[in-house]
Amino acid sequence: RTPRSPGCRTTVENNIHKETAMKICTKVISLIFTTCLAAPAIAGSRNVDCDAGDSLQNALDSGVGSAAPIEIEVTGTCYGTFTMSRDRVTILGDGSTTIHGTLRIFGSQQVVLRDLIFTGPGDGLRVVNSRARIFDTQIVDNGSAGVYAGDNSVVRLSRSQVGNNGGPFGVVAYGSNVYLSFTDVYGHPDSGVAVTDNSLANIRGGSVTGNGEGVYANNSVITVRDTWIADNSGMGVSLAGSRGHLFDVTVSGNGSIGLHVNFTGSAAVYGGAIENNGGSGVLADMHAVFSLDGTRVESNGNHGIELIHDAGALIVGTSHVPANLSGLAAWCGDEESSVQVHEPAEVGPMDDCTDF
């Protein structure tokens, strides 16, 4: 057999190396191209100085229709009504940045607002079919609602203040979800927080004080934890055809009933206190029911517990319901209403209330 010449072998090896190199290059180029396609487009940041005449609306309109995130740093006081209609927008203030007007958020997702002040003649924030997170922000002295959430919106407020808005509510939700974390709601002519039409409110920490009514729910669900609901001129918490869960909540010093549950509504109260309210501590009527587990109900202006129109109460755990200012711990206004007590719960004198 005639051996191959060295020159022939070298040529074959070179061709093999070239083919391998081409394959490697092709894979690298494909990887780079795929990575570039996968990487999000960045719209970048905008700086808006409203005191210098910059336009916040122009910044909001930049990149409309794009999925790229945008961050807007705003200083000064911006006057007018501003509309956001794109996703992934962050607006950052410096703590004194003021929107003197209304920010309307329509059909927008992944919105973040931080370190801002909203004040003006209308709503502070109007959120429709959108999702927004608000941090360290003051929403105060607006002519209408502080925060309006509608049409399946989700609004999360954290470490913020919603106060002295005229609208008549502080935070109001229609068919939407609102989450308040360590946020103070105060000084509104009607409810501090109002949710209706299958809405959800989740309140944790902070306070709801000095309103016409503290928290109101109509055909909705609320969960309240570690919150002070006090010194409202009307009721502390009102549940109309709604479900409520209260954990370690203080309902105190309200001008009328502490907790009102009616129209087949229900409430489960764990820990906390319902005390020093102008009316009864808890009033349930119209087929409503509630339970107390480890809760104090004392020093209220009428009865501790009042039940009418086929309402019921279950008192368990270490609950303590002594005689309130009427001289009764519990009063039932009809034969269909009743109270059930399980030791070690302590309940003072009851009038016309029997176990169901």
> What's the pLDDT score for residue 18?
52
> What's the pLDDT score for residue 62?
86
Distance (Å) of CA 180 to CA 106, 110, 193, 227, 233 = 21, 17, 10, 10, 22
44: its two tokens: 């970048």
What are the residues whose beta carbons fall under 8 Å from the beta carbon of 124, sequence distance 6 or more? 99, 102, 103, 118, 139, 140, 142, 145, 146, 147, 162, 165
Query: Which tens digits make up the pLDDT trace of 263-284?
Result: 999 999 999 999 999 999 999 9
- In Å, how far from its chain's centre is CA 352? 40
What are the residues whose beta carbons fall under 8 Å from the beta carbon of 29, sequence distance 6 or more? none
Q: Which amino acid is residue 111, in one-letter code?
A: V
Query: Which tens digits make up the pLDDT trace of 183-219?
Result: 999 999 999 999 999 999 999 999 999 999 999 999 9
107 three-class SS: coil
Mean pLDDT across the chain:
90
Rounded distance between C-alpha atoms, residue 296 and residue 282, angstroms: 11
> What's the pLDDT score for residue 101?
97
Task: Identify whether the C-beta of residue 301 lies closer than 8 Å to the C-beta of residue 323.
Answer: no
> What's the pLDDT score for residue 355?
56
Q: Which residues pair with 83 in a beta bridge?
A: 104
The more confident residue out of 37 and 116 is 116
Q: Which stretches of the chain are DSSP H helices?
A: 6-38, 56-61
- Would you say residue 31 has pLDDT above 70? no
Confidence of residue 167 (pLDDT cuts 50, 70, 90): confident
> What's the pLDDT score for residue 66?
75
- Would you say residue 8 has pLDDT above 60? no
Q: Which residues pair with 247 in a beta bridge?
A: 225, 270
Angle at 77 between CA 180 and CA 57, to 5 degrees: 85
Confidence of residue 24 (pLDDT cuts 50, 70, 90): very low
Pairing of strands 200-204, 177-181: parallel
> What's the pLDDT score for residue 44?
74
- Would you say residue 151 has pLDDT above 80? yes
Query: Which tens digits make up the pLDDT trace of 69-118?
Result: 999 999 999 999 999 999 999 999 999 999 999 999 999 999 999 999 99
Rounded distance between C-alpha atoms, residue 348 and residue 65, angstroms: 65
Query: Which tens digits make up the pLDDT trace of 288-318?
Result: 999 999 999 999 999 999 999 999 999 999 9
52 three-class SS: helix
Confidence of residue 27 (pLDDT cuts 50, 70, 90): low
Q: Which residues pair with 118 in a beta bridge?
A: 99, 139
Per the listing, tokens 């719960």 go with 345
Looking at residue 288, the DSSP 8-state letter turns out to be -
